[in-house]
Structure 1
Amino acid sequence: MKLGAFQDRLSGHCGFLFTELPLSERFAAAAKAGFRAVEHPNLFATPAREVAGWLERAGVPLVQTGFPAGDASKGEKGFAALPDKVAYYRSTIAPTLDYVEQLGCRMVHPMAGVRPPGVDHAKLWGTYLENLAFAADAAKARGMTVIVEPIGPGSIGNYVIDDPLVAVDAIRTIGRDNVKLLFDAFHCVCLGHDPAALIRAHAPLIAHVQIADDPGRHEPGTGTIAFDPIFAALDEVGYAGFVGCEYHPQAGTEAGLGWMRTAL
């Protein structure tokens, strides 16, 4: 695997990696392992000043996080597209941006949610576009970017924004220049897309990239995804951001880091 310049632009997803450790120790562990940044979708249980201290001591930035997405054990995966959750969703925007701003993070993801039974797709789509625009306008006032991550049925069944092309459509429809795409190569491949081709086609929209191998969503090199064409495409289009490592380690985080230490 040839990472090239991306060798020094890897971000450790600390919701997936270093889970052997308390959250308070994961950022430092990621930095020690060679990650130059970190990300995590849900830090709100800890005061922002405390999380900021973890980041400062680790010496790494938090590149992206999420708005509150609910209780995963109850099947909640965000609220941005859910008509009966509009008031709640909008009530979370300003407090989340306040919190994230204290961490120095500039990208935030509002998860769309799972399609409720009996709700018309057009209603979900319209709600999502309005709520995405609402978050984008609030974020723009703070110089922040709202990112859209499409998540396929192999990871979340009936997720509203379930394909990269659907995400691109949403971004272009609302026309906010601070709404961008979180491009996840794993989801892309699982949906049958060519990730390198999509990168070239939609490069101006991509604000963040994530990787994992398939099957199993494990470390790169453990499955069937060809990563060299992906990194070559990112380099070709001049992608200047981080590459988030959002995978489930096969046998512990440290044991699975060989792929990034041997990649050139």
Structure 2
Amino acid sequence: MLYPEHGFFDRFGAAAADGFRGVEYVSPYEYEPTAIAELLVRHGLSQALFNMPAGDWAAGERGLACLPGRQDEFAAGVDTVIAYARALDCRQVNCLAGIIPTGAGRAECEAVLVRNLALAAERLGAAGIRVLLEPINQRDMPGYAVSTTDQAEAILAQVGSDNLWLQYDFYHLQIMQGDLLTNFERLQGRIAHVQVADVPGRHEPGTGEINYIRVFEALERLGYDGWVGAEYRPAAGTSAGLGWMRGR
């Protein structure tokens, strides 16, 4: 979401120049993995995360995992993920649960989600890759299958795999439930990745209502040692808005 003024390949150099040590993005599948891997090496960057195949994004799909009748497509996507993750030396991927289709029942979709996550957790775990599940708010993605930490915990319990983790996005969870730091501390043992943006607007930390000074202090105090992904829409240019990252 950062550096929209640049094409995809040019964003790697821009991120490195601004002091980022890793990158993440919605989808690498439009590009050859060797081309992305070369950019990572050239700019000294790590691949922190990418999403599993999400279906037809332009048509409004936001993940395949909960969609009845798409299980074979989901399973084929696992093979694709393994190939890209190995090429990019990426150790974790986010599984977008998807939007519950019109006319489908939540119980049916949840059952499909649980089976697909179990498959992904097993096969990706054998390849040394973590699978993450992210609650996403209903304002930005109406009908999304997993929107709160309570829902995510219930899914994790049903799957029952030690290779299924939480992606904790402070922006989505502020909209849906708040109590950000209490829930983070309670769930920290299952959290593998953090993302930040402020509310409202989904702009830089410090532009809205979330006290990110307290958030970052808490991550440090609690010993969180994973990535913090800057998943926001720059309010007035990416580089100009990085004061939050540089302590000013």
Fold equivalence (TM over 0.5): yes
Report Cα offsets for 1:72-115 as digits up to 9, x if no partner.
22111011001121111111111221122110001111211111
Q: Which 4+ stretches in 1 moved above 6 angstroms?
A: none
1:236 Cα deviation from its structure 2 partner: 3.1
Q: Which of 156, 166, 169 in structure 2 is aligned with 1:181?
A: 166
Quick check: 1:96 aligned with 2:81?
Answer: yes
Alignment check: 8 A CA contact 2:49 2:91 kept: yes
Gaps of 5+ in 1: 1-15
Match of 2:232 in 1: 247
Q: Measure, in 1, the Cα distance between the counterparts of 2:221 and 2:157.
A: 23
Distance 2:67 2:104 in 1: 9
Shift of 1:45: 1.0
TM-score for the superposition, normalised by structure 2 = 0.96
Backbone CA RMSD of aligned residues: 1.2
Equivalence for 1:117? 102
Q: Which sits farther off after the overlay, 17-26 or 169-178? A: 169-178
State the aligned residue count. Answer: 248
Which one of 24, 41, 50 corresponds to residue 39 of structure 1?
Answer: 24
* 2:134 corresponds to which of 149, 158, 166: 149
Give the C-alpha shift of residue 191 in structure 1.
0.9
Percent sequence identity is 38
> Bigger relative contact order, structure 1 or 2, given CA contacts below 8 A and separation 6+?
1
> What one-letter code is carried by the residue in structure 2 that aligns with 1:256?
G
C-alpha deviation, 1:233, in angstroms: 2.8
The answer for unaligned runs of 5 or more in structure 2 is none
2:148·2:177 contact (CA, 8 Å) conserved in 1? no
2:159 partner letter = I
Structure 1 contact 136–179 (Cα < 8 Å) conserved: yes
Alignment of 1:205-216 (within 5 A): 205-216=190-201
Bigger mean CA deviation after superposition, 55-64 or 172-181: 172-181
Tell me the residue number matched to 2:247: 262
Shift of 1:126: 0.6
Kindly provide the amino acid, as one letter, of the partner of residue 213 in structure 1: D
Q: Residues 22 and 46 of structure 2 are in contact (CA less than 8 Å); yes or no, is this contact kept in structure 1?
A: yes
